[in-house]
Amino acid sequence: MRPSPDSRFAAGLRRSGSNLSASGRGFLWLVLVTAALLWPIAAAAQAAELDTRVTFFHEPAKGSTMTVYTPSTDLTVRPWDFLTVTGGWEADIVSGASERVKTGPLSRSGPDTITGASVKDFRNIGRGSVAVRHDVVELRAGGSVSVENDYKSNSFNGSARTDLFQHSTQLEIAYARNWDTVCDLAHTANTDATLRQPLDNSTGCFQPNSTTRSEAPIRTDAFQLTWSQAWTPVLTTQVVYTGQLQHGLLSDPYRAVSLSPGGQYAQEHHPENRARQAVALRGAYYIRPLKGAVRAGVRGYRDTWDIYSATFELEAEKYIFPWLRLRGTGRYYRQTEALFWSDDYTGGEPEHGPRGQYWSGDRELSPFSSYLVGLRAVGTWSAGERRIVGIFEGLQAGVGADMLFYSYSDFTLGGRPPEDTTAYIGSLSFTALF
């Protein structure tokens, strides 16, 4: 979870290597060994579920189009009623182009310092979890390993859940820890932050003998409490509190910000610590005459970088046929800027609080709003007395499409409004129950 993730600027010059690195080979072995261990369990299991899906993200813009495919496959087996084991793989396949140096309207060098660059990256994630259930209590532990050219991540997560009052109340506590490493340029010791240059590409990252690359750790602790409550046979609510602490290189090493009117730029510079918290409240209500449900949610967020945000979501889902249901989604999001964020550091008084110790031109840290509209259809088929095609106890297929619209109030590219403010998300899924 690198917190400054705008690859349209920052992940810019990554280029995937053609040779599999040592960490990549290790990851491949991990996936193969996990699959080999899970397969015999799946063969003997009472129930097994194979889920495969792909999400497609496309953000068109002149000079900075971004396309990301995210395929994934997960196998879940239940050898006994009390035990559930899951193993899976996911990837991010990225291609496109992005800008590199952020300038503002006051910079005399203007948009010329924004250079487009091709982006290609391939992230692999292996993940697994084990859940044990006894009576009204479920304990779950899991982890993941992810590898990409310039970022490595290991994570552990655990949760405990219990049901109360005839299952009408459900409480869950969850914790996750990330041990991540991000590639950076090998800056000379004691180099002032204003003189640090951004990473230009991922060549040499995580090579033990590299003299031009360094590695920086990021540690993340996340904690979550969830209370779900059924109030009536058709009404349920949920309250979620999430807290997260991050420490390490929280800026994006590829990203640079223009600091002087003459065009001098430096690698963006964020605080090394960030504490974040969010509270979400959701409700779902079933409308019998419509054979469907409406779901509404609101989330409030704040962090120690002084970002406040609010999210409003509304969904309606109904059965068109007993085997087909259709869902419509609407989402509105609005946030304030980080305390140190500016659209232009090259002159004038700051419009939004103090700056100077840190600098960032990330659009994710700027004030903006966005809204999303989407549709999703899901078909479900269950086997009767005979299995479907003699194999499956159940099948499920889904297709969905979302459109995202961004509205940036302060963020510009050298004084010009950004063009990549519309994005499309598509998804396909197929799940088989054996």
Question: For strand 324-335 and strand 368-382, is the pairing parallel, antiparallel, or unpaired?
Answer: antiparallel
Site for other proteins in 29-48 (CB under 8 A): none
Asked if 344 touches other proteins (CB under 8 A), the answer is no
Q: Report, in Å, the least distance between residue 178 CB and other proteins.
A: 5
Rounded distance, CA 237 to CA 228, Å? Answer: 6
Nearest residue (CB) to other proteins, 107 versus 411: 411
Q: Report, in Å, the least distance between residue 13 CB and other proteins.
A: 13
CB count in 10 Å sphere of residue 379 = 14
Rounded distance, CA 432 to CA 58, Å? Answer: 28
Q: Report, in Å, the least distance between residue 193 CB and other proteins.
A: 21
Out of 167, 189, 322, 384, the residue judged to bind other proteins by CB under 8 A: 167
Q: Report, in Å, the least distance between residue 359 CB and other proteins.
A: 16
Nearest residue (CB) to other proteins, 348 versus 417: 417
Nearest residue (CB) to other proteins, 107 versus 342: 342
Q: Report, in Å, the least distance between residue 347 CB and other proteins.
A: 25
Asked if 323 touches other proteins (CB under 8 A), the answer is no
Contact of 297 with 283, CB cutoff 8 Å = yes
Contact of 292 with 320, CB cutoff 8 Å = no
Asked if 187 touches other proteins (CB under 8 A), the answer is no
Q: Which two tokens stand for residue 350?
A: 């700051």
Nearest residue (CB) to other proteins, 200 versus 317: 317
Site for other proteins in 241-280 (CB under 8 A): 242-244, 252, 276-280
Asked if 144 touches other proteins (CB under 8 A), the answer is yes
Nearest residue (CB) to other proteins, 117 versus 365: 365
CB count in 10 Å sphere of residue 32 = 11
Nearest residue (CB) to other proteins, 82 versus 231: 231
Q: Report, in Å, the least distance between residue 281 CB and other proteins.
A: 9
Out of 13, 31, 75, 182, the residue judged to bind other proteins by CB under 8 A: 182
Rounded distance, CA 221 to CA 225, Å? Answer: 14
How many residues interact with other proteins (rule CB under 8 A)? 109
Nearest residue (CB) to other proteins, 82 versus 308: 308
Asked if 282 touches other proteins (CB under 8 A), the answer is yes
Rounded distance, CA 316 to CA 413, Å? Answer: 38
Rounded distance, CA 143 to CA 75, Å? Answer: 15
Question: Using CB under 8 A as the criterion, what x/- string covers residues 204-243 for binding other proteins?
Answer: --------------x-x-xxx---xxxxxxx-x-x-x-xx
Q: Which two tokens stand for residue 33?
A: 């060994």
From 20-28, 36-44, 172-180, 206-214, give the range in contact with other proteins by CB under 8 A: 172-180
Out of 45, 77, 117, 284, the residue judged to bind other proteins by CB under 8 A: 284
Nearest to 125 by CA among 158, 85, 92, 157: 92
Asked if 343 touches other proteins (CB under 8 A), the answer is no
Asked if 317 touches other proteins (CB under 8 A), the answer is yes
Q: Report, in Å, the least distance between residue 190 CB and other proteins.
A: 28
Site for other proteins in 61-120 (CB under 8 A): 66, 68, 70, 72, 74, 92, 94, 119
Nearest residue (CB) to other proteins, 165 versus 321: 165
Q: Report, in Å, the least distance between residue 188 CB and other proteins.
A: 26
Site for other proteins in 366-425 (CB under 8 A): 370, 372, 376, 378, 380, 398, 400, 402, 404, 406, 423, 425
Residue 221, phi then psi, degrees to nearest 5 = -115, 130
Q: Which two tokens stand for residue 57?
A: 């993200």
